[in-house]
Structure 1
Amino acid sequence: MRGLLGFRGALREVGLDEGFQWLDGSFVEDIESSTRQRAPGDIDVVTFVRRPAACRVEADWKRFNQENFSLLHDVAAVKERFRCDAYTVDLDIEAESLVDSTRYWFGLFSHQRATCQWKGILRIPLAAHADESALEWLNEMNDQDEEY
C-alpha cells in the first residue's frame, strides 16, 4: 500500500493528476484468507490519465513520455520501486483506441486467473484526496504492530 501511495505521488509530481486508477490482482482478492493464504506480492494498477495541459500537442506528449519513461512505461522499474505492476492508458487518444485499451484491461482484470471467477476492480481517483489519510492510517497500524 505504501508503494501504491508513492507511485500515485510520483505521477502527480510529474503533472499527471487528472484521471483515475483501476486496482486489481491479489491485492483486492483477499488471498490471505483464500486457499493460497499468502500476502499479495504487488498491486496491479492501470492508470487512466489525461495529458497535462502543456502536453496536449502530440510532440510535447511524446517528449513527456520519453522524459518520464521509467515511471510510465518501465514496468520492471515501477515494480521494483513501488511494488506495483503498473500500466498507463492515455485518456486523450482517439475514441476507438481508448475503447480497445479499456476492453483489454477490463478483460484481464475482471476474472481470477486460476479459477476464471468474476471479481471486482477497485476504481480510485488519481487526485490525492485521501492519500495522506491512508498513509497516516498505515503508520498508525505499523506503530500498533510494533507495540506487540
Structure 2
Amino acid sequence: MIPAFDFSGVLPPYTGSAQAIDGRSPYPVSLREVHERLATSPARKELFDGLLRYREALRGFGIVDGFQWLDGSFVEDVERTENRCPRDIDVVTFARRPRHLRRDEAWWTAMDERGDLFAAHRTKLMFRCDAYCIDLDARSLWLMRQITYWHGLFSHRRESNRWKGMLQVDLVDSDELALATKGLNSE
C-alpha cells in the first residue's frame, strides 16, 4: 500500500515504528496501485504511460528479472507544494542480465548500443523517465556502492535534505498487461 503524503508532500520514509522491517521505504506496490494513487491528472497519466512503455521496452530487450524503484516529483504532491505538475518519473531498474548477455563484454556492448534504454537523457525524452539500470549480476562491491548511492539519493529531497519514501515495483507485474491493454493508464 502507498502511504499518504506527509505534511511536506512526500511519502514518509516509514510507517509505524522506525525500527520495524515492514512499513519501510521502498514500499513494495503493484503498478495498479501506482496508477490508482498517482496517475490522477492528464500530466500524471502521460508520465505513467511513459513508464509502462519503458517497462515494455526493457522486457522486449530481455530484462525481466528484477525490480524498479520509483521516485521524484511523480511520487510527491508537487501540485500542492510547488504549484506545478511532475515533469518525469525517476526510475532505477535493478535487474539481472538477459541470458544471452551474461558475459560482461556482451552486456556492455548491448548497453552502449541501446541508449534509448540505458542513457538517462534519452529515456527522459522517449519515455519521460529519468532512468538508470543497475546490473544485479555485477560484482558485489560495485553493486553495494550502487544500492547505497541510489538509496541515499532517492530517500532525501534534494532541496531540503528531508527524508522521504519511494516505491518499489517488480519488473513483471500481473496488472501491467491489463493496464496497458484496457487503457486504464489513459482514463
TM-score (norm 2): 0.70
CA distance in 2, matches of 1:126, 1:38: 29
1:41 and 2:87 correspond: yes
- The residue identity in structure 1 corresponding to 2:58 is L
1:6 and 2:53 correspond: yes
Q: Deviations over 1:112-144 (max 9, x none)?
A: 1122221111000011422233333223x2xxx
The Cα of 1:40 is off from its aligned counterpart by 0.3
Number of equivalent positions = 138
Query: Match of 2:150?
Result: 105
Structure 2: 5+ residue stretches without partners: 1-47
The counterpart of 1:127, out of the listed 164, 169, 172, is: 172
What RMSD in Å do the two structures reach over aligned CA positions? 1.3
Q: Deviations over 1:52-93 (max 9, x none)?
A: 111112222223223323311x21111111001011100000
Give SS of 1:48's match: strand
The counterpart of 1:53, out of the listed 99, 107, 119, is: 99
Query: Match of 1:32?
Result: 79
1:63 and 2:109 correspond: yes
Contact 2:115 2:122 in 1 (8 A): no
Q: Indicate the percent of aligned positions where both proteins have the same amino acid.
A: 44
CA distance in 2, matches of 1:82, 1:128: 19
Off by >4 Å, runs of 4+ in structure 1? none
Query: Match of 2:64?
Result: 17
TM-score (norm 1): 0.87
Structure 1: 5+ residue stretches without partners: 142-148
